Amino acid sequence: MQPTLIRVVLVAILPALAPFSGCAQQAPASPVPKPAPASQQAPTAAQAPATTLRLTLEDALNLARKNSTQFHAALTEAGLAREDRVQARDALLPGVDFATSVLYTQPNNIGGIKYIANNAPHEYVSQGNVHQQLGLAAVASYRSTAALAAAAKARAEVASRGLVVTVVQNYFAVGAADEKLATAKRTAEEGERFLQITRDLEKGGEVAHSDVIKAELQAQERRRQLKEAQLALLNARLDLAVLIFPDFNENFETADALHASVPLPPRDEFEAQAARDNPDVRAALATVQAASNEVLGARSGYLPSITLDYWYGIDAEHYATYSPALPPLTGRVSNLGSAAMASLTLPLWNWGATQSKVRQAELRRDQARRELSFTERKLLAEMRSLYSEAETALDELGGFERSAELAADSLRLTTLRYKNGEATVLEVVDAQNTFALANAGYHDGAVRYRVALANLQTLTGVLTSP
């Protein structure tokens, strides 16, 4: 049989015998693709990378206000002081209580009682009581707690404005660290490129081996600086993440540009806002008011107080609204009745305790007045200092920007001069160092200006933003 005919027969018969054959040489009709390695497989929904959160400065501030423990501690203090004011106010109003009780007294042999303080062997009391206490101490206490609540509210606002400074500093520190990392990468690339240039020139006999050694040392230093810049960026991101997120989240990026143009508010407008709405002054003023009312409350210990009570209900021998009438009467009588009492308490002698309380309150009031005066003087000083700081930071920022541009040009030109044999290796190294320092100063100057603007809002309550 011809070989070609044999091949044709085998091709026709083998597919029919395939289901009954266990031979390992069997090949499927069409190839089945092998599963790709795990590293090459498309990510499933559970494995898909999370979307990077793009944070603006306003987003970061809102998250910090929601999650900052210290800020919420100030809010809690303000809430507690507000509830103290509510309780002191309620103490000025009549209180209503209901009480029910039974009194058993041992009877005597003739139907009376042995314990004369009670009215009958079995006495049932079930009645409501309206109680009101009148006195200067309660009024002074309410005024004092109201002033303390206002002071706590002002301190909460101080905490809120301080939180803004912290968030701004951490937010733009991330941007500065990112910019510094880009600069470190560029200087590292320049160092590697310069090292290669020196090696090429050494091979051509144009420079000494000492230039190669100096370039290699410089390249190693740039590599270390690159690693330090990467670490600084990581730490800056972690500091911001801990401040604003309720859980540990590193998957974010900042949206506001570090070097965006942000105007400085006019000095007159800034001083007017700072003098009008400063929470430190409001807190100090409210503290003085609270201390003055504490003096009034202490002096009320010299004055009499009045207590009013009104009762309505049952005070009878039977726990019922009606009782059988006593002979010779028939039918029933009502047990419901009322009573009223007014009491006047006149202080006479307490061994000078009231006088001591008055002296204590006056000492606190005098100290609060001194602190208010100091806060006002401090405000005037901070108005000038913080605005001058912002002005200086803005003026220097322009110089830092120009220095960074000049340093970049100097590095480029010095490297070209070295290649042409017109500059020394030390000049190139100096140009590289100047470039790194100028860029770092430019980024740090931008952060300083942003923080200076945030410090201004601690006095005005208004954050300047692009």
The ranges assigned to domains in the chain are 54-93+136-302+353-460, 95-134+304-346
pTM attached to this predicted model: 0.75
Residue 396 pLDDT: 93
Q: Which CATH class is domain 54-93+136-302+353-460?
A: mainly alpha
- For every one of its 466 residues, what pLDDT tens digit does the chain have, with 9 covering 90 and above? 444 434 433 444 444 434 434 433 443 343 434 444 433 444 444 444 568 889 899 999 999 999 988 889 999 999 999 999 999 898 888 889 988 988 877 777 766 666 667 777 778 889 899 988 888 888 898 999 999 999 999 999 999 999 999 999 999 999 999 999 999 999 999 899 989 999 988 888 888 899 899 999 999 999 999 999 999 999 999 999 999 998 888 889 999 888 988 899 899 989 888 888 789 999 999 999 999 999 999 999 899 999 999 999 998 888 888 888 777 777 888 888 899 999 998 999 889 899 999 999 999 999 999 999 999 999 999 999 999 999 999 999 999 999 999 999 999 999 999 988 888 989 999 999 999 999 999 999 999 999 999 999 998 888 876 6
Q: What ranges make up the beta strands (E) of 301-357? A: 305-316, 322-324, 332-334, 336-345
For residues 177 and 229, the answer to whether their CB atoms sit within 8 Å is yes
CATH code for 95-134+304-346?
2.20.200
Question: Within a 10 A sphere around the Cβ of 31, how many other Cβ atoms?
Answer: 7
Residue 29 pLDDT: 40
Q: What ranges make up the beta strands (E) of 105-172? A: 122-134
**Torsion angles phi and psi, residue 116, rounded to 5:** -75, -10
Which residues have C-beta within 8 Å of that of residue 215, sequence separation ≥ 6? 191, 194, 195, 197, 198, 199, 425, 428, 429
CA distance 401 to 405: 6
Residue 465 pLDDT: 67
Residue 44 pLDDT: 45
CA distance 100 to 240: 61
Residue 202 pLDDT: 87
